[in-house]
Amino acid sequence: MRLHRRALLAAPFVLPGLARAADWPTKPVRIVVAYPPGGPVDTQARLIAPRLEARWGQPVVIENRPGNAGNVGALAVARAAPDGHSLLICASAHAINPGMYRNMPFDTARDFAPCSLLTAGAFILTVHPSVPARSIPEFIAYARANPGKLDYSSAGSGTGNHLAAELFKQMAGVEMVHIPFSGAAPANTAVISGQAPVMFNNMISAMQHMPDGRMFGLGVTTPNRARALPQVPAIAEFLPGYDVSGWYGLLTTAGTPATVVAEIHQAARAAMTTPAVTERIEALGLEVADMGPAPFAHFIGTEMEKWARVVEIAKAQVD
């Protein structure tokens, strides 16, 4: 499922006949962030938390539970009471993990109630200056001429930038060696130093390091050019059909009443479309999205199928 701009700002989703859950929340709400403080997931949680708190009249507490590509934090919400008082901000790895890990601690499709797609954006193929390519065609030609000699970094096995690279390898017919790191910061350091000179980077990191020439951006992973970097072409302009979005969404525990799920979506939508929040999101190289519970659940399912195929072909599954 492609996340074109018209889908990012779709009509608000409201279940027919459902009024706002006026008697909810009845206690503090926690937002579980399955990643360390300071990253894009944590940033978004802290942007919306005070606005949700003001709307709901209850404290909204951020709880960082990093580990295992987001599975540690997700498990905490999967096991929570189905009352909407535990929320999870997930990244696109949430849909990658079922195909990536043989032994998942929960069922991604059954154990969560998707509430709202919050934001989406492109990764960008970045290279160290030592890589003799300044365009996607030049990069593909160089990689084909040097099979297995290019190392690419990622924030860890199963992350969005890892699988974006694997899909690129499959579609472009190139061989590169994966060097996983324990987060985006060390992966970026590896690109800047030339240790692993290629990375399908997140936009905010790339925009920090491209202006001074420490890395070059060759192409973005979405079908269209990114609003934040309109001068950088889409990889799909040279590799038709290539399409990867990094996205972030809000989930709660399966079994939560539909009225509560609908209210979480509406509250998140109101928070994300606040001008100050939208401005901050766009500074991260992302776009505010608006996809409600049913379409978001469908989208997660299509993403799970897509990445399971990529993982199978790449033989990237881990225990």
- Residue spans of the domains in the chain: they are 5-120+246-314, 123-237
- What is the pLDDT at residue 116? 98
At 259 the three-state DSSP class reads helix
- Same topology, domains 5-120+246-314 and 123-237? Answer is yes
- Rounded CA separation 206/125 (Å): 9
**Does residue 235 contact residue 220 with C-beta atoms inside 8 Å?**
yes
> What is the mean pLDDT of the segment spanning 237-264?
97
Four-residue CA torsion sign, 180, 182, 183, 184: negative
pLDDT at 15: 41
Segment 76-102 mean pLDDT: 95
DSSP letter string over 53-91? HHHHTS-EEEEE---GGGHHHHHHHHTS-SSSSEEEEEE
Instruction: Indicate if the pLDDT at residue 204 is higher than 90.
Output: no
Quickly state the pLDDT bin for 36 (edges 50, 70, 90): confident
Better pLDDT: 249 or 102 = 249
pLDDT score at 7: 47
Q: What is the mean pLDDT of residues 80-88?
A: 98
pLDDT in tens, 90-118: 999 999 999 999 899 999 999 999 999 99
Query: Does the structural domain 123-237 have CATH classification 3.40.190.10?
Result: yes
- Report pLDDT for 3: 55
Which residue from 280, 308, 302, 307 is spatially nearest to 119, judged by alpha carbons? Answer: 280
pTM: 0.86
Q: In Å, how far from its chain's centre is CA 235?
A: 18
pLDDT at residue 58 in the model? 98
The tens digit of pLDDT for each residue in 273-304 reads: 999 999 999 988 899 998 999 999 999 999 99
Question: Where does the pLDDT of residue 213 fall: very low under 50, low under 70, confident under 90, or very high at 90 and above?
Answer: very high
Band of pLDDT at residue 183, cut at 50, 70 and 90: confident
Q: Domain 5-120+246-314 has what CATH class? A: alpha beta
**Mean of pLDDT values over 171-189:** 91
* Cα within 13 Å of Cα(139), Cβ side: 27
Percent of the chain past pLDDT 70, that is, above it, reads 93
Inform me whether the pLDDT recorded for 143 exceeds 90.
yes
Rounded CA gap, 106 and 112, in Å? 9
> Which residue is it, tokens 């991604």?
108
**Chain-centroid distance, C-alpha 269:** 18
List the structure tokens of 291.
Answer: 């996809």
Residue closest to 81 by CA, chosen among 256, 205, 202, 213: 256
| Predicted confidence (pLDDT) at residue 6 exceeds the cutoff of 60 | no
Distance CA 178, CA 161 (A): 11
Task: Please state, in angstroms and rounded to a whole number, the distance separating the CA atoms of residues 184 and 33.
Answer: 16
Averaged pLDDT score across all residues of the chain: 91
